[in-house]
Each structure stands twice: as C-alpha cells, then as structure tokens.
Amino acid sequence: MSVLAVGLSHRSSPVALLERVALNGETRTRAVGEMVGSDAVNEVMVVSTCNRTEVYADVENPHGGVAAITELLSWHTGVTLGELNEHLYAHFEDHAVQHLFSVTCGLDSMVVGEGQILGQVRDALKEGQETGSVGRVLNDLGQRALRVGKRAHTETHLDHAGADMVSFGLTIATRELAVTPDPSLPAAEVTPPAGCPMSGRGALSDPAEPRSLGAALPSGPLTGSRVLVLGAGSMSALSANTVARQGAGTVIVANRTPERAARLAECLNEAYDTVRAGSVPFAEAAATLADVDLVISCTGAQGLVLTAEAVAAATRGRTRPLVFLDLALPRDIDPGVRELHGVHLVDIEDLRQAVASGTGHDPGRSNALPLVRGIVDEEVNEFRAIRRANEVAPTVVALRAQARDVVDSELSRLHGRLPDDLDDRTREEIGRAMRRVADKLLHRPTVRVKELAAAPDGESYEAALRQLFDLDLQIPKDPDGETCPGRRSPAARPAQEKA
C-alpha cells in the first residue's frame, strides 16, 4: 500500500479553476464512491475548502492511483484532463504525509497559520469514517494530522500571531469602508454559550443558565456598521463572531434553514451586549442590501447567491459604499457587481493577490513558522517509524511462527528418544529451554528489523529477512474480510464496482 495526495490549491491553480474543481455535496459523495470502487484505490479522504481540493488515498500503486483519481476528478467536475494536469500536484508516501501535516497546521493556507483548516481536516476525516471511504491507513494518518495541527497551535505562538480567512478578508474589505480592522483584537474575547453554532459544544443543558458573557466590549474598527451574513455554517458563525468583536452594531443572518439563522443571531445577542442581531429569510436577503454596509457570504451553494442585477436593483439610489466579502468557493457573489457604482467586491482571488503582495505579513507568525516546520518533520519521522513497524509485523510474526514449528518438530523427535522413565516435569523443562533459546536467538534480529524499517529504504531489510528464512506470509483476515494491516479487499469495499 502507498499513501498518496493529489490535488489543487491556491498555490497551484487560479481561483476560477478551483471553483470548477470544488467537490461539494452529492458530487463529492459520488466521486469518492467511485474512487474507492476502483481497483487502484483502497481508501479515500477528500479535503475541499475555499483554498484547495485534495484527495488523500491509500492505493495499490502510486501511478495507478493518480490516474484513477485524476480521471474521476475530470469526469465529475467537467474539467479536462489536460487542464487538470497543468495545475495538479501529487505527493507520495512521506511527502504525502508531510503535505497533509503541513496543511493541517495552516502552513499551506492562504493566510499562513490560520486555524480553520484544522477543523476542516477533522470534518473530512469524520465524513470518511461515516461513509466508509476511510479505513485503518487513512484513519491513522488523519488522526495523526489532527494531533500535529493541535501541537502546532499549542506549542508555538502561531495562534497568537496568526489570522484567519475572515479576519484577513475584513482587513482587505474594510478599506473600502474607510476603516481598518485591528488584528491585535483577541480571537476569543467572548466565549459563546453551549449550543451556539460558534461554540461547537452541543445543546444547552439549562436554557435558564445565567449569562456570564455579557460584558460590554470596547469599540472596534467596525463600530456602528451594519453587516449581513449569508449562511449559518461554521465559516458564517466565525464571520459573525469576528464582526461583532470588531464593533459591528447590527448583524443580520440569512440562511436557507431559517432555524439555523435564528439560532446564530440568538447566540450573538447572548454573547455580545454591543450587538443587535437578527435573522431574515434567505429569499429576502437582497432586500436588506439597502440598509447594510458590509455583506459577508460563505454559503457553500453551487451557484450564484446574488446576481449583479439583484444587487443593482437593491442599491439603486444608494449614496454610501456597499462592500461584499465573498469567502465561498464556488463564488456566491456575481463578479459583475464590480461594475456597479459604489459597490466593492473582495473575493478569494483578491485575497490571494493580497497575500502575494505581502499584505498582512506578521513578524510574529513568521517567527513561529520554523518551530511549526520542526514539529511537522518530527511527526513525519515518527509516523513513518510506526507505520513501517506495523508493516514489518507480519514478517516478524511469520519468522517466530516458523521457529515455533521447528522447535515443536524437534521436540517431537526428541521425546521419542528420551528414556521412558523421564518424568513429565523434566520433559516440559526441556521444551521450555529449547523455546527460550529460539526466542533469544530471534529477539535481537526482530527488534533490529523493526528499527531499520523506519530508515530510508528500510523495506529492504524486511525483504532480506523473508528471503533468508524463506517466509511465506499468510496475512490473516478479520471477520469483516479486511486484510491486515488495513487494506480492504475489493469485496469489502462499500462503493460500486466499475462496469
């Protein structure tokens, strides 16, 4: 088996192509099912965000895996293979592991060090576990990646210096509102109550729980501004929380599920004394444009949420600027709104250009990066050692089984030649002594082969052991038909077979 990473990101691809390759909803479900159903791929985990679409896989061989995944990406997204291959990257084995660890730490993010990607990788792993596309190999890899991401944010100052996509986007967008967000504002000045979409802590255990978070906040850079948030997912919750921290006076939430919009607005009112929050039906979002200063959109919709025509109609006669911050991929806001008088649009492409120009560079974050890279390298080496040790385990088991068979055979022959009056206790002691000799002779070689397996080309030592002792590995299967150490047989795959 081989670990493989195939994908596109803001570093390799224009935003227009990322938009077309984004795997969301049913498209992702179908694509993952067919990938796992192919002969070349055993397991799949997809990380799809506004900055990247990446497929992590356990494959039979790297080249066959790349071909299968790329062809299915092309089929399900409608992007030609030629266009994909021009921007696609592929990483194998340790390089794939290192890439996922770096991504999870935020090292490969548009806003380096942002923490949202950690939750996005967690969601990708959870989805793969629930659908069955993730088995033992990717589960171990994903869990280790989450551990690495947590270490990076707790053992360095990456959290203190780093921003997130929302904060960085506001830094760019609010220039058009003649204000500049203060990046020194703490990221967690107010902790939302349990059950709030911003908290991730489940339902309220006691609706009558007294409020302890209502202290008035100091004025921020968006003081008195009116903000419309389109969507009520995790990114929208972060957006609402961020604009509240930066002084927004009114926050309106619109979502296709009215209950989620209302709950997010309720949480804002509970958490901030300085904010008036409410919700409107999604269909009425355009009608609120005349009364807001800033619109943040991150809905996950497959098409445009607001067209240029709808915005033009809603802002006719408006005299003050209206700024859109579109954090969605595919885009929510029609790029044509840029042509409207007094309307400004900041989207993922604008943020990428801002990063390329050095906007938002933070010396504190830069100082933390070498420490984070050191953590990544350390964890890659440790993961390799554990994985190689697991892979060599069947060879060690086979060698010890062979030794036991030899000892048992020799004991059987010996018992026939021993004196008849030799008592059972003595016979058992002879057997134990022979087994101890065999175990001691094998102990050092088996320990060393596990140690050497973690080194570059370490598999050659395992191969030499198999050749020297003529070992025939019979890899056992568990009751579900899954072969050890984690590769699923084609019969056990949940996805459909190719026609």
State the catalytic residues: 50
- Measured CA to CA, the distance from residue 46 to residue 23 in angstroms comes to 8
CB-side neighbour CA atoms (13 Å) of 336? 10
What is the rounded distance in angstroms from the CA atom of residue 135 to the CA atom of residue 128?
Answer: 8
Report the candidate in 181, 296, 282, 306 with the shortest Cα–Cα distance to residue 236: 296
CB 271 within 8 A of CB 192: yes
CB 262 within 8 A of CB 254: no
**What distance in Å separates the CA atoms of residue 208 and residue 129, rounded to the nearest whole number?**
36
The 3-class secondary structure across the chain, one letter per residue, is CEEEEEEEECCCCCHHHHHHHCCCHHHHHHHHHHHHHCCCEEEEEEEECCCEEEEEEEECCHHHHHHHHHHHHHHHHCCCHHHHHHHCEEEEHHHHHHHHHHHHHCCCCCCCCCCHHHHHHHHHHHHHHHHCCCCHHHHHHHHHHHHHHHHHHHHCCHHHHCCCHHHHHHHHHHHHHCCCCCCCCCCCCCCCCCCCCCCCCCCCCCCCCCCCCCCCCCCCCCCCCEEEEECCCHHHHHHHHHHHHCCCCEEEEEECCHHHHHHHHHHHHHHCCCCEEEEEEHHHCHHHHHHCCEEEECCCCCCCCECHHHHHHHCCCCCCCEEEEECCCCCCECHHHHHCCCEEEECHHHHHHHHHCCCCCCHHHHHHHHHHHHHHHHHHHHHHHHHHHHHHHHHHHHHHHHHHHHHHHHHHHHHCCCCCCCCHHHHHHHHHHHHHHHHHHHHHHHHHHHHHHCCCCCHHHHHHHHHHHCCCCCCCECCCCEECCCEECHHHCCCCCCC
Contact call for residues 24 and 481 (beta carbons, < 8 A)? no
Whether 192 and 227 have beta carbons less than 8 Å apart is answered as no
Q: Report helix angle 363-415 to 459-469, nearest 10.
A: 10
Pick from 144, 143, 97, 107: nearest CA to 372: 107
